[in-house]
Chain A
Amino acid sequence: METLNFLLQGFAVALTPEHLMFAAIGAILGTLIGALPGLGPANGVAILIPLAFSLGLSPAASLIMLTSVYAGAMYGGRISSILLNIPGDEPAMMTTLDGYPMAMKGKAAEALAISAIASFIGSLLATIGLIILAPILARFALHFGAAEYFALFALAFATLGGITGKNQVKTIVAACLGLMIATVGVDISTGNQRYTFDILELYEGVDFIIAIVGLFAVSELLFFIEKHVGEGLAAAKLNKLNLKMSDILHVIPTSLRGSVLGFISGVLPGAGASLGSFVSYTLEKRVVGSKGQFGEGDPRGVAAPEAGNNAAANGALVPMLTLGVPGSGTTAVLLAMLISLNIQPGPMLFTQNAELVWGVIAALLVGNLMLLALNIPMIGLFVKLLSIPPKYLMPVVTLVAAVGIYSISNSALDLYFMVGFGLAGYVLRKLEVPLVPVILGMLLGPEMELNLRHALAISDGDWTALFSSGLSLTIWSLAFLGLALPYIVGPILRRRMENARARLEVPEEGD
């Protein structure tokens, strides 16, 4: 009941005209970002943070706008999967399996509509899951001491590579790099200077927003240049929508199953949206069995992964909001936004900033309704966007990113840093070192160090204090599992995901 009260208060925040407007702007921008080639959700949110920041929006308004962008980008990613067989982002990969065959049969509009409905169901159920689960987890997390938090941060890094991660050592290297950058600046506990080399601009440390924009947006530009893919994609044709009520009812059970699975994999550390959509699709195939025509354009094969990845995206907000530990790139970027608004996520968030959190959760519900309403009539416009050639798009995106960074403090030095991070991001990506742990390290570094210090100060320097309670031992063993499991089950899962795609591509070549 208490939760319901909070939620009603949240709606009071979310339904003010100003906030509704920001939710709508966010939803549209998000879908654009998801639909445009080369702009994933993490990228899009990263570019918009400095803008929201320098516009002086209130915390509630910027959070509402950017979570809508996040939700919208998850919607947008599916458009190119279905029409062109090119996933807009990684989680949308499974959608190509049945979405593209449907489009080939001249049912592109139906596939898009069904995926919009499945996405809506997925997000809706996951938001309800978030409403139920988050306060419970937040209450539980109040028992965490410094040692448990330190272990939890380690767990976050250990599972970040994901169960399908290739080289865990590279994840650790990336995390160390991020954490090291986070130590640059004046030490908050003692006032000592660390790694500042007497450069005044480094006293406050390196701004993680600059790092995020550089690593994601600028390195993406460099990749586009390397691959010489300046030309636009072939314009996709869209048929007239002919969707009957029975078609919608037909995919509802699938969407419900996919949502539950997706939500679970979103909440669990190390799983994420890609695995959510994969699990939903494979399970659905097994449940329906030979009665379905999976891989040949079964609408259920579109609904399952879409419900799964949208549910996972919202599920991933649970650990981010309640523990301050994000499980994916995009939630890491959302965490960056919270920290830059001076809001420390974690269990206290639900008591100290109750109005804000519930406002955002309510905004997610409202945003989802908006997205559904936008997506069915406006799909024609989004489809046109697909054929914008990257040779014009990427320079303008880079411009917007640079302007955002510049507007934070009007300093050219920030722009040099952005370019530097872009180069570093390019080289690291070439070496298959993941970038998200770098970002997460920069974000979590100060908190992680603080908790280590608290834990060790209490125990008077005894390092075994980090492993003394049952709870911390549990977290450490989970972290260890998170590091080890990818070596055991990772290759199997990866092979299955690749097989699923290979099966699709073979008949296509025969055409």
Chain B
Amino acid sequence: MIGDRILGILMLLLAVSYGWEASQFPEPFGGAEAVGPETFPLLLAVILGVSSLYLIVKPDQDQPWPGVRTLLDLGFVLAVLAIFSAMLAPVGFVISTTLMVGVLCWRMGARPLPSVLTGVSSAVVVYLLFNFVLELHLPAGILKLS
């Protein structure tokens, strides 16, 4: 119930701000016409607005949400993925991938040693495959030779 209501309220806010933004578009070069860049967005804003009202009035039963520990786990995984994205270019593919895959395996319940092994081997295999067989260049980062 509450989940759908929150979704409905957020969607309503989105619809209103999206529609308001559309009504603020500057008039296109060459003068206004029957249909402009704002027509379609306004239509969408109306449809989304009406649907979100329905969600607020008639919400479905909620699915069980995970507990705090699992939510922390999920947040941790998202953070790992974000750190991986940030590390990729400066630090290099092999190191960041080893970390990302290793940590994810570990968070999914694998023991530390197999996790590290999966991380290292997938990093090295994908790196070699991409750079030498498929000729797509992944960043070498600090491991770059010469």
Assign chain A's interface to a size class.
35 or more
B141 at the interface (CB under 8 A from A): no
Q: In the complex the two chains form, what is the Cα distance from A396 to B117 in whole Å?
A: 12
Q: Within 8 Å of chain B (Cβ to Cβ): is A433? A: yes
- A218 contacts which chain B residues (CB < 8 A)? 81
Tell me if A180 and B18 are in contact (CB < 8 A).
Answer: yes
Q: A180-B18, A426-B74 are in contact. Are A456 and B35 (CB under 8 A)?
A: yes
- Asked whether any CB of chain B lies closer than 8 Å to the CB of A399, the reply is yes
CB-based contact A176/B73 at 8 Å:
no
Q: B89 and A412: CB pair below 8 A?
A: yes
Per DSSP, chain B at the interface is helix
What are 6 A-B pairs at a CB distance below 8 A? A192-B37, A226-B66, A390-B108, A430-B63, A453-B40, A456-B35
By the criterion CB–CB under 8 Å, are B37 and A419 in contact? no
Q: What range describes how many residues of B lie at the interface?
A: 35 or more
Closest B residue to A414 by beta carbon equals: B85
Does A131 count as interface, using CB distance less than 8 angstroms?
A: no
Binds B, one of A66-74, A166-174, A291-299: A166-174
Is the CB–CB distance between A399 and B122 below 8 Å? yes
Interface contact tally, CB-CB below 8 A: 173
Interface: A80 (CB within 8 A): no
Cβ-defined contact, A395 with B134, below 8 A: no
Interface segment, one of A182-190, A275-283, A496-504: A182-190
Is B104 a contact of A398 with CB atoms below 8 Å? yes
Are A395 and B51 also in contact (CB < 8 A) when A230-B110, A432-B60 are?
no
Interface, chain A (partner B; CB < 8 A): 54-55, 166-167, 169-170, 172-173, 176-177, 179-180, 183, 187, 189-192, 194-195, 218, 221-222, 224-226, 228, 230-231, 389-392, 394-396, 398-400, 402-403, 406-407, 410, 412, 415-416, 418-419, 422-423, 426, 430-433, 448-449, 452-453, 456-457, 460-461
Measured in the bound complex, the distance between the Cα atoms of B22 and A59 in whole Å is 37
What is the bound-complex CA distance between A405 and B119, given in angstroms?
19
Bound: A457/B44 CA distance, A: 19
Q: Within B76-131, which residues are at the interface with A (CB < 8 Å)?
A: 77-78, 81-82, 84-86, 88-89, 97, 100-101, 104-105, 107-110, 114, 118-119, 122-123, 126, 130
